[in-house]
Amino acid sequence: MAVSEAFLHLDPMLLFKSGANFGKQRNLGLVEFHYSLGTSQNGIKSYAFSSVGYYSTDRKNRTKRSCFSRCKCQKADSISEVTADDGRPTSLSINGRTNVNNAQEFELNQLLKSDKEGFANGDTNGVGTVIDSRKSIEEEAWDLLKESVVYYCGNPIGTIAASDTSSSSILNYDQVFIRDFIPSGIAFLLKGEYDIVRNFILYTLQLQSWEKTMDCHSPGQGLMPASFKVRTVPRDGDDSVTEDVLDPDFGEAAIGRVAPVDSGLWWIILLRAYGKCTGDLSVQERVDVQTGIKMILKLCLADGFDMFPTLLVTDGSCMIDRRMGIHGHPLEIQALFYSALLCAREMLASEDGSADLIRALNNRLVALSFHIREYYWIDMKKLNEIYRYKTEEYSFDAVNKFNIYPDQIPPWLVEFMPARGGYLIGNLQPAHMDFRFFSLGNLWSIVGSLATVDQSHAILDLVEAKWSELVADMPLKICYPALEGQEWRIITGSDPKNTPWSYHNGGSWPTLLWQQLTVACIKMNRPEVAEKAVMLAERRICRDKWPEYYDTRRARFIGKQSRLFQTWSIAGYLVAKLLLANPSAAKILINEEDADLVNAFSCMLSANPRKKRGQKGFKQPFLI
Ligand code: GLC
């Protein structure tokens, strides 16, 4: 019997609920069938049937998956209405407001009207939600987060990037971004709402290596999209019914056409967090999920021309997703890469087929941590060393390995570097150190233990010492300092959105405070640093309508082109509050330092001619 035929004989609901796993022996992934209620464009009630489908682990069959990621809606007047927990038809909340049809809009207006009448001193927030002045900031944040939920075939699948109706151009802010969903997913996990995270993990997996091309070129196998959109479209040949279609973007439509290297890494980190938080390991153990992890790893660990263990990427391949001079080996990607490798190692089933991959992964972990800890780290002592570097050293044991010319030390850095504290630089290339401080990379290096314990404390010391530069009126600067003048012109390509102290160029992003700073501070047992920053942000963030970013050196203005009601600003706030109230929950995101890696690192260090600070009593090096 053909696989698809076999499934027709099974109870779809049962399959979905049980997450039954088929074909483990036959190299096949999972099948899921979903029923949900939808409403066609002309208001006819219908039910949706979705077969997410099976897939095989070979390339040919995997690319066939696209034809299954459709949610076929059929006319079904006789079927009783399925409602969400709050009693509203599930289809009402598709994409916040964008997918609602006339009938739904009417119902929604009725709901809002009655809400409004209930709130004597209420105010609307611009997205139709009524802000109750009696509500706490957290309550408002939860309401907004729930409104941002996007549904696919009636199932919650992610959160929209921003719900700002005041903005004239939506661009792609109506999509679910993989990186933006991380704080949302963590908030939902901490709240005990697991389904949305599980769905997100499984549906985005279906999008991995989608058959997409840009000018005849396909992305690498294992690439995860930057974002996706749920489109409700009339069904082919029958306008009376609609179907939901998932439409991913791997960068082929994105501004600048950048491939999102961080998406797959975040996906692995979230997958592990899901397992740790729920105790449900069945998701990570699924054949398709294991295959997905391996595909991401293979893509990242593939041999190239590079001499460095760091991941070589193009400009704008992460949160900073446009030209900002972060091509090469940017810290953010390396921090996520390291953390994703550790998470994957925890989750990969040990079987004969993955032995080589695990060996390659272990080798990379050792080399990567050595490289970053040694060559990216700067503090007063190291700066002074660079200041006195000899150049043009041709030898195996050169001290100035990358031929850095001391004149590169920028004047601002001499002022910026505190006597106590230090940080990991933004990027390292031959004859080039990007000395800018990038928050995400530094904080995630703490969270994932890419930085040593001493370095981690030193980074937080620097954040405290440079509070008025990095936190100022609104946490947290995405990078410091901004590129100005000729440097801005050359490096950003005269980008009018990335003007000095705005957006990616020294703008302040609340989402960084919540998730990254809070988890890093909790890990280092210094939650008071994050608490101080949260209190500061709380004074404005809600009143300012949850902006995406702030501008100016001290973050005094809401960003020039900043979206309001930016979901990851909202979700991040909730995560920070939940974690500060229950710090032990942060362990779902943290990677503790691995003793074997410390050992291997130490052995490499003692073999390094530049520094002989080998520690006593270490065991044999890690198996390479
Ligand atoms: C901007 C940000 C990017 C984010 C997206 C959606 O493009 O640079 O990091 O994912 O908006 O919020």
**Which pLDDT does position 239 carry in this prediction?**
83
Residue nearest (by alpha carbon) to ligand 1 atom 4: 319
The mean pLDDT value of the chain amounts to 79
Q: In the structure, which protein residues have their CB atom closer than 6 angstroms to any atom of ligand 1? A: 161, 177, 179-180, 319, 321
**Which pLDDT does position 156 carry in this prediction?**
97
CATH number at residue 465: 1.50.10.10
Structural domain for 542, as ranges: 154-606
DSSP at 523: H
Domain membership of residue 292 (yes or no) is yes
Q: Express each pLDDT in 273-307 by its tens digit.
A: 999 999 999 999 999 999 999 999 999 999 888 88
Q: What ligand 1 atom has the least distance to the C-alpha of 177?
A: 10
Q: Express each pLDDT in 581-614 by its tens digit.
A: 999 999 999 999 877 777 776 777 666 655 544 3
For residue 80, pLDDT beyond 70: no
Residue nearest (by alpha carbon) to ligand 1 atom 12: 161
Quote the tokens at residue 501: 């102290």
Q: Compute the CA torsion angle 468, 473, 477, 482 (nearest 10 deg).
A: -70
Whole-number percent of the chain with pLDDT over 70: 73
Quote the tokens at residue 315: 């400009």
Could you tell me if 455 and 377 are in contact, meaning their C-beta atoms sit under 8 angstroms apart?
A: yes
- Give the separation between CA 133 and CA 211, rounded to whole angstroms: 48
pTM of the model: 0.79
**Which pLDDT does position 209 carry in this prediction?**
65
Cα distances (angstroms) measured from residue 572 to each of 68, 181, 390, 501, 592: 33, 10, 45, 22, 22
Q: Which residues lie below 8 Å from residue 444, measured CB to CB, with a gap of 6+? A: 332, 335, 336, 339, 450, 516, 520
The structural domain count of the chain equals: 1
Q: Which of 319, 439, 497, 498 to mutate to test the pocket of ligand 1 (most atoms within 8 A of CB)?
A: 319
For range 444-466, the mean pLDDT:
98
CA–centroid distance, residue 319 to ligand 1 (Å): 6
Q: Which of 180, 261, 333, 439 to mutate to test the pocket of ligand 1 (most atoms within 8 A of CB)?
A: 180
Domain membership of residue 126 (yes or no) is no
Domain membership of residue 58 (yes or no) is no
Domain membership of residue 182 (yes or no) is yes
Could you tell me if 196 and 149 are in contact, meaning their C-beta atoms sit under 8 angstroms apart?
A: yes
Could you tell me if 183 and 568 are in contact, meaning their C-beta atoms sit under 8 angstroms apart?
A: yes
At 281, the amino acid letter reads L
At 13, the amino acid letter reads M
Q: Express each pLDDT in 538-574 by its tens digit.
A: 999 999 999 999 999 999 999 999 999 999 999 999 9
Q: Express each pLDDT in 514-536 by its tens digit.
A: 878 999 999 999 999 999 999 99
- Give the 3-state secondary structure of residue 427: strand
Considering only residues 390 and 623, tell me which one the structure prediction assigns the higher pLDDT.
Answer: 390
Distance of CA 265 to the CA centre of its chain: 8
Burial code (b: 16+ CB inside 10 Å, e: under 16) for 75-94 equals: ebeeeeebebeeeebbbbbb
User: Which stretches of 40-125 are assigned E, i.e. beta strand?
Assistant: 45-51, 70-75, 123-124
**Which pLDDT does position 68 carry in this prediction?**
33
Taking the alpha carbons at both ends of the chain, their separation in whole angstroms is 46
Residue nearest (by alpha carbon) to ligand 1 atom 1: 321
Domain membership of residue 356 (yes or no) is yes
Domain membership of residue 102 (yes or no) is no
Domain membership of residue 575 (yes or no) is yes
Considering only residues 330 and 82, tell me which one the structure prediction assigns the higher pLDDT.
Answer: 330
Q: Which of 173, 182, 315, 321 to mutate to test the pocket of ligand 1 (most atoms within 8 A of CB)?
A: 321
Quote the tokens at residue 542: 């809600």
Confidence bin at 253 (pLDDT 50/70/90): confident
- Give the 3-state secondary structure of residue 425: coil
**Which pLDDT does position 211 carry in this prediction?**
67
Closest CA to 478 of 461, 454, 497, 455: 497
- Give the 3-state secondary structure of residue 424: strand
- Give the separation between CA 520 and CA 514, rounded to whole angstroms: 10
DSSP at 11: -
CA–centroid distance, residue 348 to ligand 1 (Å): 30
Q: Which residues lie below 8 Å from residue 397, measured CB to CB, with a gap of 6+? A: 609
Most confident of 20-29, 82-91, 105-114, 247-256: 247-256
**Which pLDDT does position 593 carry in this prediction?**
87
Residue nearest (by alpha carbon) to ligand 1 atom 11: 173
CA–centroid distance, residue 513 to ligand 1 (Å): 16
For range 15-38, the mean pLDDT:
29
Helices first, then strands: H and E counts in the chain: 23, 18
Whole-number percent of the chain with pLDDT over 90: 60
**Which pLDDT does position 134 carry in this prediction?**
61
For residue 513, pLDDT beyond 90: no
Q: Express each pLDDT in 152-204 by its tens digit.
A: 999 999 999 998 777 666 667 889 999 999 999 999 999 999 999 999 999 99
For residue 52, pLDDT beyond 90: no
**Which pLDDT does position 212 carry in this prediction?**
66
Could you tell me if 536 and 467 are in contact, meaning their C-beta atoms sit under 8 angstroms apart?
A: no
For residue 242, pLDDT beyond 50: yes
Q: What ligand 1 atom has the least distance to the C-alpha of 503?
A: 8
DSSP at 106: H
Q: Express each pLDDT in 215-234 by its tens digit.
A: 777 777 889 999 999 998 98
**Which pLDDT does position 95 carry in this prediction?**
30
Domain membership of residue 558 (yes or no) is yes
Q: Which residues lie below 8 Å from residue 180, measured CB to CB, with a gap of 6+? A: 159, 161, 227, 567, 568
CA–centroid distance, residue 173 to ligand 1 (Å): 8
Q: Express each pLDDT in 329-338 by its tens digit.
A: 999 999 999 9
Confidence bin at 45 (pLDDT 50/70/90): very low
Q: What ligand 1 atom has the least distance to the C-alpha of 175?
A: 6
